[in-house]
Amino acid sequence: MTTAPRPKPAPPQRSIRLMLMIQETQYTVRRVACDPLIGARAFRLLKEDGTLYDVIQTPFGPECDCPDFVFRRLGIDPAGCKHVQALVALGLIEPS
């Protein structure tokens, strides 16, 4: 009489979340899909109040859809807004 070995139990599911603090504001950071013709990678930053900002690594440098980037930084400040600067500091996107 032979007995079959018991199957190994599946490893436990892991939940990983990246939290980002910029001064006193906390964001949840998630990588999102982007069209490779538009950018190499993209991230969504979610504030606790539900506000969303998308940051994308384009061939021309990183861009963010926050008002500060759109109205004060785009084409003027290569360092970008605080969201771009934070993701660059973490190594998630490349600087301009």
Structural domain contains residue 49: yes
Weakly modelled stretches of the chain, pLDDT under 70: 1-2
Quote the CA–CA distance of 8 and 65 in Å, as a whole number. 47
Quote the CA–CA distance of 70 and 7 in Å, as a whole number. 55
Domain count, the chain: 1
- Residue by residue, DSSP assigns the chain as ---PPPPPPPPPP----EEEEETTEEEEEEEE---TTT-SEEEEEEETTS-EEEEEEETTEEEE-SHHIIIIITTT-TT--HHHHHHHHTTSS---
Q: Which pLDDT score is estimated for 23?
A: 96
Q: Which pLDDT score is estimated for 11?
A: 82
Structural domain contains residue 46: yes
Structural domain contains residue 23: yes
Give the residue numbers spanning the domain of 71.
18-89
Q: Which pLDDT score is estimated for 2?
A: 66
Structural domain contains residue 42: yes
Q: Which pLDDT score is estimated for 1?
A: 58
Q: 28-46 pLDDT, tens per residue?
A: 999 999 999 999 999 999 9
